[in-house]
C-alpha cells in the first residue's frame, strides 16, 4: 500500500524540529507500516502507534483512500498516557 503525506504532515517535521523534537519521515512511515498498536476509536481515521524510546511513543493519524494510506499528522506522546 502506498503512503502519502498531507501538506500539514510534511510541515509537522519542521514544527517539531523547532521544539527540538526530531522525528524522521522513515520513523513515521515505519510506524504506519509496522505499528505496535492501531487505535480505531476515531474512525474513519486510524492512529498507528509505535515506540520512540523507553518513555515515549509516536502516534500517526492517517486515513485509507483506496490503496493509499494518507498521513494527516503525527505526534510524540508519553507511553504511560497511551499504552493499554
Q: What is the pTM of this model?
A: 0.94
Q: Could you give the CA distance from residue 10 to residue 59 in angstroms, rounded to a whole number?
A: 15
The answer, yes or no, to whether residue 72 has pLDDT greater than 70, is: yes
Q: How many domains is the chain built from?
A: 1
Q: What pLDDT score does 83 carry? A: 73
CA nearest neighbour of 71 among 9, 16, 1, 15? 9
Q: Which domain holds residue 63?
A: 2-82
CATH number assigned to the domain comprising residue 9: 3.30.2310
CA nearest neighbour of 58 among 24, 8, 84? 24
The answer, yes or no, to whether residue 24 has pLDDT greater than 80, is: yes
Amino acid at each position: 500500500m502506498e503512503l502519502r503525506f498531507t501538506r500539514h504532515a510534511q510541515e509537522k517535521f519542521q514544527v517539531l524540529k523547532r521544539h527540538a523534537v526530531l522525528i524522521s519521515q522513515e520513523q513515521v512511515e515505519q510506524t504506519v507500516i509496522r505499528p505496535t498498536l492501531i487505535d480505531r476509536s476515531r474512525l474513519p481515521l486510524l492512529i498507528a502507534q509505535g515506540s520512540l524510546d523507553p518513555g515515549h511513543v509516536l502516534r500517526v493519524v492517517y486515513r485509507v483512500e483506496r490503496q493509499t494510506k494518507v498521513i494527516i499528522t503525527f505526534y510524540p506522546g508519553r507511553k504511560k498516557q497511551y499504552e493499554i
